[in-house]
Amino acid sequence: MSNRPFYIPVILGTVRQGRASENVAKFVFAQVKKRNGVETEFIDIRELHLPNDDAGEQIKQSRFSEICERADGFVIVVPEYNHGYPGMLKHLLDSNLKEYIHKAVGICGVSAGGFGATRVIENMLPVMRELGLVTIFWDGNFSGAQKLFDDNGNITDEPTHVKRMDKFLGELIWMSKVLRYGRENVSI
């Protein structure tokens, strides 16, 4: 298997002003950065300025496409809006295809309520599957998002969430390694 560092970007999947997911995404990003042998990048879909007069691969942006092509896996931080995912996140994900195939993805759900965004995570799974991404069995569940961080953006129950993210990232990195080996060496 090639010895390039593993690259797992973190995608913040909402453009909403005052988004609680931003703190979550920064926390998750910090956890990924701690992992040896893994490079990462913080992708804020607000900064991609996607056009809204077309969709699909017609709006593919070279920068995001290059990030996806280089990636071995993805972390998607997604808020639960009315039990679903933000339209802008779907708009972004639909702009690529070949860049995702046989790559790992882990989903971190963010909710105001107490169910850890499990509904949006479940809603994301069929989309991930059709894009060719391979989901893991660990999720990031961030309930009560508005109260989960202090005024400085620090998570209030750090030990619990660090422990959860450790399991989540362990599985995601393992899957990323296996899938890179498969993409490079196992022919269909």
Partner 1 sequence: MSEEPMKCNKCGATMNQHAVKVDYGVEDSVQDAAFDGVLQEVHQCPKCGGTQLRIERLMNS
Binding residues for partner 1 (CB under 8 A): 1-2, 4, 56-57, 69-70, 97-99, 101-102, 132, 182-188
**Cβ at position 55, least distance to partner 1 in Å:** 10
- C-alpha gyration radius of the chain: 16
CA torsion angle 9 121 181 67 (round to 10): -30
Residue (64 or 142) nearer to partner 1, CB: 64
Q: Report the alpha-carbon distance of residue 137 to residue 139 in Å, rounded.
A: 7
Residue 126 CB neighbours (<10 A): 9
**Cβ at position 162, least distance to partner 1 in Å:** 30
**Cβ at position 180, least distance to partner 1 in Å:** 8
By three-state DSSP, how is residue 164 classified? helix
Residue (129 or 147) nearer to partner 1, CB: 129
**Cβ at position 185, least distance to partner 1 in Å:** 6
Residue (9 or 109) nearer to partner 1, CB: 9
The phi and psi torsions of 130 (rounded to 5 degrees) equal -70, -30
